[in-house]
Amino acid sequence: MFYGNRRLEEADLGGLRLTKIGFLKVGTLPTPEECGRSILSIIVDHFKVSPGEVLQVKNINIAGQTKRGLKTADVVSGIQFVIDNAWVEELPGGVSLRLTEVGFAEA
């Protein structure tokens, strides 16, 4: 949706910016937890992954950037957060993640 020359998803609202991942204070970066919750939402809500199922990191990265407006650094930070919190398990080789029961419950 467009508003003037700008997309409504990116409109500034009194110091807040509405993005695809929610409202962010203009001039601030999302926290690792905010990025992690976006990553978890991508895994569960966008890709419909169930506990024990595997998803490639490249697919999460693409969806994070195109569907949620995340920057690469935000995706990396978010993936590290979900790994550190045992919401996903990193598989050998580091190219895939397995959703855990804990992660599914957190979503």
Q: How many domains does the chain have?
A: 1
- Please indicate, yes or no, if residue 22 is contained in any of the structural domains: no
- Please indicate, yes or no, if residue 44 is contained in any of the structural domains: yes
- Please indicate, yes or no, if residue 25 is contained in any of the structural domains: no
CATH of the domain at 76: 1.10.10.10
Helices 32-41 and 57-67: crossing angle, nearest 10°? 100
pTM (2 decimals)? 0.75
Please give the residue range of the domain that contains residue 61. 30-106
Q: How far apart are CA 10 and CA 79, in angstroms?
A: 24
Q: Quote the pLDDT of residue 11.
A: 47
- Please indicate, yes or no, if residue 8 is contained in any of the structural domains: no
Q: pLDDT tens-digit profile of 30-57?
A: 899 999 999 999 999 999 999 999 999 9
